[in-house]
């Protein structure tokens, strides 16, 4: 029910909701690239945005507990004693949440010595006096007493997404008492969370019956000697603690707060700061919900304004479109916007708009300012003119999201991507914005036009209504596309000027990101052949394995249960088998894979062994079936590569993700057997860099020990293990090697002693001693890690070997959590970013040579540090030489770039 027609105050218990969000969302799924946990912040914000959008409150405030001491603690020192310590993953998330609330201009109301629910109770009372209704969101049941005809409690039933609407009727239905009598019920029953024991053996039904019979708790106490039975006897024995509970449960409604209801009226958010924080926290999915709840920023003010075009673009016919193209001078920059799409091996473009920018004053733009056309209307002459425009000098063309458009033009026969050299790739405003601001959540044209041009690409309501009256749907869509083409052109002008100010960033854009577009487009078009028969066999095999594991699990406990039900697993593990309870969640105790693996390591119980095997098999069946659904009509999988997701420059793969297939497990090897050389090709070639990030670390740090190990061709992790543990290289055990490997890579990503201890399953002190020993022997690494953060703090950014920048303004933040996130990013970005840049340089060189030498072999996949090529008959030696040369010379380091090459009929067989 919306409350939009009346004033409504939304009050939120900050710590209560943050903790619920923390336990509702898996912490491992909400961690930034710098290692900062954000599940509590994300869950809280998600709940807030949903409720604000649905309820449309006119007033809003959040209250947090300030910690000890409190009035209640002074009255009862055992109050809330025994609570588990705050999880380290939660630490600092409240500070980040407060930053976001301040950016939203939401008042944060607190009072020294008092808890959040007392502050909320006081504000709700003030609102009622002012004729304002209240909505309270809290997981603290004490707030039930605040419910009345003007105050409703939204009580989280599960996590923070499912809120029960507690009205007076709902409270009475659930607890059998009115909200006014709820404190009496809680005093009798007790509150475990607050360490307030009640009357032993008295539950909610008995307490409600007493309260109904005697009016309220004072009446129950006054007539305690008349209540019979064992329950009455226990009541009389524990009257003192009931009275104490009553005193502590009662919420304050008249505190002298620093903020009144009038000051909680909603204000416009500080959109720039909100966007910045969303970027820092990598909350890419919340933007639309944020704008729905708090409105969209007005970006049309200030210096940037909507330009008035003297001559508007036109909807063109074939002759007019050909005339437009033929009038374009050889030095003009031309922006194109199409409705191109491509999915599951098929793509097309049906409409196209062109905007032009003359570089010479003599060019006549008045007769041809730009326009849009239905490609189906083109005659052969117009199509040939378009094909010439697309192929004669692609570097003067500008797209937004060029890769999709290029594939669509290829499908339509207007270009031949296979013949396109990487240096011939068109410009791309999406990539330009990405290299300038790699931390943004997204790079849609609408967002960038608003951010950089102060322009909305949507017509205002009056214009939209007039368009609908004056034009048919097709013409209106063509003119909208023309506006987008003009925005691409103006955005290119703006971003090109910014790139000119940063020589290194400009080179990353023009020499790395833009050429990579054509390589990825070719790879996506080519796809990779899948062995359908083997895929079917693997699905059947793993499904049968899952069934066998399930039967073995049932046999181990003597009953059949639903292995996918956490509740049934909890009963078996913690009640039937009496195992140690895992981390507590809102629905019991966690049964996630890590927790069950820990329990199995402790108990070696066969039930757990079979449950884990069942889960592994079931997950693999899901992965394999997902791959099967991704196979296009040509029998190949066409993944999509994303260039603008990772701030460090690494590529990501989606639909399906082919970069997350495990390498060293039996299942991963079997899945890689599915990827084979297709008809007309003799084999696959795989090539990868050996320990490229550690080699970059050795180069950047200048550490003599690491560099010596690489120059001598030693096993790095054995070498480091021998140095750290003070043993001979031949005496380094597998466990020692695993520890130094985890530490070596972890240090490059700002891994703490606590993080290392969790990763290795050892104590924090042992992990700290391991790190100390490492730094004592590899002082150059320690100096580098310290210096890179200091340099970034002075300059405001980090830089890769090739000039890719990542700006980190939070290095100077007063907020410790944000500052530490930025410090971890400062450690990570130069190494991972340099590795990404080297791989892109290698890909460009490989593709350039394959194309230049007119070979039929082609790049199919890029998986982090690995390239997979499909080799045409008779070309293996030539292709392998190209790959080895281009990958090996992609960067000049103080240590050699070691390239491993293998070949075979499948991805697995080509492993080396």
Residue, of 586 and 848, whose pLDDT is higher: 848
**What tens digit of pLDDT does each residue of 177-188 get?**
999 999 999 889
Q: What DSSP designation does 197 have?
A: E
Residues 678 and 716 in one domain: no
Average pLDDT over residues 189-211: 85
Q: What is the DSSP string of 346-384?
A: EEE--EEEEEEE-SSTTS--SS--EEEEEGGG--HHHHH
pTM over 0.85: no
Q: What is the pLDDT of residues 885-894, one digit of tens each?
A: 999 999 999 9
821 and 811 in one domain? no
- Please give the average per-residue pLDDT across 476-491, as a whole number: 92
Structure confidence at residue 299 (pLDDT): 52
Torsion of CA 379, 381, 386, 387, to 10 degrees: 110
In a domain, 208, yes or no: no
Q: Is the pLDDT of residue 307 over 80?
A: no
Which of 227-231, 454-458, 537-541 is least confident?
Answer: 454-458
Q: Tell me: the pLDDT tens digits for 680-737?
A: 999 999 999 999 999 999 999 999 988 998 898 888 888 888 888 888 888 888 888 8
pLDDT for 365: 43
Q: Is the pLDDT of residue 364 over 60?
A: no
Domain membership of residue 403 (yes or no) is: yes
Q: Is it the case that residue 587 has pLDDT exceeding 90?
A: no
HSE (CB half, 13 Å, CA atoms) of 76? 18
Residue 367 pLDDT greater than 60, yes or no: no
- Compute the average pLDDT of residues 833-848: 96
**DSSP letter assigned to residue 514:** H
- The pLDDT of residue 298: 60
Residues 779 and 794 reside in one and the same domain: yes
What mean pLDDT comes out for the span 149-161? 86
Q: Is residue 67 part of a domain?
A: yes
Residues 568-581 have a mean pLDDT of: 93
Q: Worst-scoring range by mean pLDDT, 284-288, 483-487, 635-639, 890-894?
A: 284-288
Phi and psi at 597, nearest 5°, equal -65, -40
- The pLDDT score that the predictor gives to residue 332 is 87
Confidence at residue 662, expressed as pLDDT on a 0 to 100 scale: 75
Comparing 534 with 75, which gets the higher pLDDT?
534
- Is pLDDT larger for residue 36 or for residue 879? 879
Beta strands in 808-877 (DSSP E): 858-863, 866-871
Q: 54 and 135 share a domain?
A: yes
DSSP, residue by residue, 865-892: TEEEEEEPTT-HHHHHHHHHHHHHTS--
Give the CATH number of the domain where residue 624 resides: 1.20.1060.10
Q: What region does 413 belong to: left with phi over 0, alpha with psi -120 to 50, or beta? A: left
Give the model confidence (pLDDT) of 247-264 as tens digits: 888 899 999 999 999 999
Quick one: average pLDDT of 109-117?
Answer: 91
128 in the same domain as 41: yes
Segment 470-498 shows an average pLDDT of 85
Does position 466 have pLDDT exceeding 50, yes or no?
no
- Total domains present in the chain: 5
Determine how many CB atoms are found less than 10 A away from the CB of residue 129. 10
Percentage of the chain modeled with pLDDT above 70: 93
Specify if 751 maps to a domain.
Answer: yes
Can you give the pLDDT at residue 78? 74
The answer to whether residues 23 and 51 belong to one domain is yes
- Are residues 575 and 593 both part of a single domain? yes
Segments forming the whole domain that contains residue 738: 693-816
**445 and 571 co-located in one domain:** no
The alpha carbon of 825 is separated from its chain's Cα centroid by a whole number of angstroms, namely 15
Highest mean pLDDT among 324-328, 418-422, 531-535: 531-535
- Do 383 and 487 belong together in one domain? yes
**CATH code: domain of residue 491:** 3.30.420.10
Cα torsion through 538, 542, 547, 550, rounded to 10 = 180
Residue 116: per-residue pLDDT = 92
pLDDT recorded at residue 860? 96
Q: Is the pLDDT of residue 202 over 90?
A: no
Domain assignment present for 199: no
Please check whether residues 726 and 872 belong to one and the same domain: no
Mean pLDDT estimate for the chain: 87
**pLDDT-based confidence at residue 345 (cuts at 50, 70, 90):** low
**Residues 498, 563 share a domain:** no
Q: Is the pLDDT of residue 462 over 50?
A: no
Domain final position from 781, 801, 816: 816
Instruction: Give the confidence band of 809 by pLDDT, cuts at 50, 70, 90.
Output: confident
């Amino acid at each position: 029910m919306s409350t939009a027609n009346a004033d409504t105050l939304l009050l939120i218990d900050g710590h209560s909701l943050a903790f619920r969000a923390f336990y509702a969302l898996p912490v491992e799924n909400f961690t930034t690239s710098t290692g900062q946990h954000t599940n509590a912040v994300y869950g809280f914000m998600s709940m807030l945005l949903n409720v604000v959008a649905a309820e449309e409150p006119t007033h809003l405030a959040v209250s947090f507990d300030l910690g000890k001491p409190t009035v209640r603690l002074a009255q009862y020192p055992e109050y809330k004693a025994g609570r588990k310590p705050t999880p380290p993953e939660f630490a600092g998330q409240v500070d980040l949440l407060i930053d976001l609330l301040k950016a939203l201009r939401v008042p944060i109301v607190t009072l020294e010595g008092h808890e959040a629910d007392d502050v909320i109770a006081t504000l709700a009372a003030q609102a009622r006096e002012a004729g304002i209704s209240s909505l309270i969101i809290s997981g603290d049941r004490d707030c039930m007493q605040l419910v009345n005809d003007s105050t409703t409690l939204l009580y989280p039933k599960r996590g923070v997404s499912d809120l029960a609407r507690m009205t007076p009727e709902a409270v009475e239905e659930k607890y059998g008492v009115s909200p006014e009598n709820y404190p009496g019920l809680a005093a009798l029953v007790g509150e475990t969370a607050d360490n307030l024991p009640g009357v032993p053996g008295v539950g909610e039904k008995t307490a409600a019956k007493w309260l109904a019979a005697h009016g309220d708790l004072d009446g129950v106490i006054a007539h305690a000697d008349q209540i019979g039975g064992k329950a009455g006897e226990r009541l009389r024995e524990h009257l003192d603690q009931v009275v104490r509970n009553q005193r502590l449960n009662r919420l304050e409604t008249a505190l002298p707060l620093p903020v009144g209801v009038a000051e909680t009226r909603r204000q416009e958010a500080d959109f720039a700061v909100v966007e910045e924080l969303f970027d820092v926290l990598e909350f890419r999915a919340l933007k639309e919900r944020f704008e729905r709840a708090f409105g969209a920023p007005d970006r049309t003010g200030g210096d940037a304004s909507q330009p008035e075009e003297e001559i508007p673009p036109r909807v063109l016919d074939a002759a007019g479109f050909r005339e437009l193209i033929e009038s374009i001078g050889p030095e003009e920059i031309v922006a194109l916007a199409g409705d191109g799409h491509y999915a599951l091996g098929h793509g097309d473009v049906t409409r196209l708009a062109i905007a032009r920018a003359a570089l010479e004053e003599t060019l006549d733009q008045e007769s041809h300012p730009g326009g849009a056309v239905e490609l189906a209307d083109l005659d052969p002459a117009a199509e040939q003119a378009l094909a010439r425009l697309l192929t004669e000098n692609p570097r003067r063309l500008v797209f937004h999201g060029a890769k999709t458009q290029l594939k669509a033009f290829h499908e339509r026969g207007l270009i031949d991507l296979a013949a396109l050299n990487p240096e011939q790739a068109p410009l791309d405003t999406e990539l330009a914005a990405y290299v300038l601001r790699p931390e943004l959540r997204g790079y849609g044209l609408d967002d960038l036009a608003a951010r950089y041009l102060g322009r909305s690409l949507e017509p205002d309501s009056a214009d939209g209504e007039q368009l609908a009256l004056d034009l048919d749907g097709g013409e209106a869509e063509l003119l909208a596309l023309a506006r987008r083409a003009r925005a691409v052109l103006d955005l290119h002008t703006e971003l090109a000027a910014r790139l000119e100010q940063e020589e290194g960033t400009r080179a990353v854009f023009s020499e790395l990101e833009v050429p990579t577009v054509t390589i990825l487009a070719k790879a996506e078009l080519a796809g990779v052949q899948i062995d359908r028969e083997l895929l079917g066999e693997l699905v059947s095999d793993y499904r049968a394995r899952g069934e066998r594991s399930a039967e073995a699990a049932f046999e181990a406990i003597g009953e059949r249960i639903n292995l996918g039900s956490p509740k049934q697993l909890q009963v078996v593990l913690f009640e039937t088998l009496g195992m140690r309870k895992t981390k507590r969640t809102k629905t019991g105790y966690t049964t996630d894979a890590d927790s069950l693996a820990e329990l199995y390591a402790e108990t070696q119980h066969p039930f757990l062994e079979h449950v884990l095997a069942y889960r592994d098999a079931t997950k693999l069946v899901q992965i394999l079936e997902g791959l099967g659904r991704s196979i296009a009509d040509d029998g190949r999988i066409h993944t999509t590569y994303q260039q603008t997701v990772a701030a460090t420059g690494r590529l990501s793969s989606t639909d399906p993700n082919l970069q997350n297939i495990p390498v060293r497990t039996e299942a991963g090897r079997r899945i890689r057997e599915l990827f084979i050389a297709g008809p007309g090709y003799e084999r696959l070639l795989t090539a990868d860099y050996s320990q490229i990030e550690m080699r970059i670390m050795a180069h950047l740090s200048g550490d003599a020990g690491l560099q010596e190990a690489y120059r001598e061709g030693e096993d790095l992790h054995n070498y480091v293990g021998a140095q750290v543990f003070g043993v001979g290289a031949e005496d380094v055990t597998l466990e020692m090697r695993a520890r130094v490997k985890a530490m070596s890579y972890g240090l490059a990503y700002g891994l703490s002693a606590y993080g290392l201890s969790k990763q290795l399953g050892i104590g924090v002190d042992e992990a700290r001693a391991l790190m100390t020993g490492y730094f004592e022997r590899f002082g150059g690494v320690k100096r580098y890690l310290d210096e890179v953060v200091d340099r970034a703090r002075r300059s405001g950014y980090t830089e890769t070997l090739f000039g890719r920048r990542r700006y980190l303004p939070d290095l100077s933040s007063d907020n410790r959590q944000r500052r530490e996130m930025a410090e971890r990013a400062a450690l990570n970005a130069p190494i991972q970013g340099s590795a990404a840049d080297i791989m892109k340089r290698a890909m460009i060189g490989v593709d350039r040579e394959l194309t230049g030498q007119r070979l039929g072999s082609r790049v199919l996949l890029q998986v982090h540090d690995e390239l997979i090529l499909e080799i045409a008959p008779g070309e293996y030696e030539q292709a392998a030489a190209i790959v080895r040369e281009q990958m090996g010379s992609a960067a000049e380091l103080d240590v050699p770039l070691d390239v491993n090459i293998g070949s075979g009929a499948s991805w697995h067989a080509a492993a080396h």
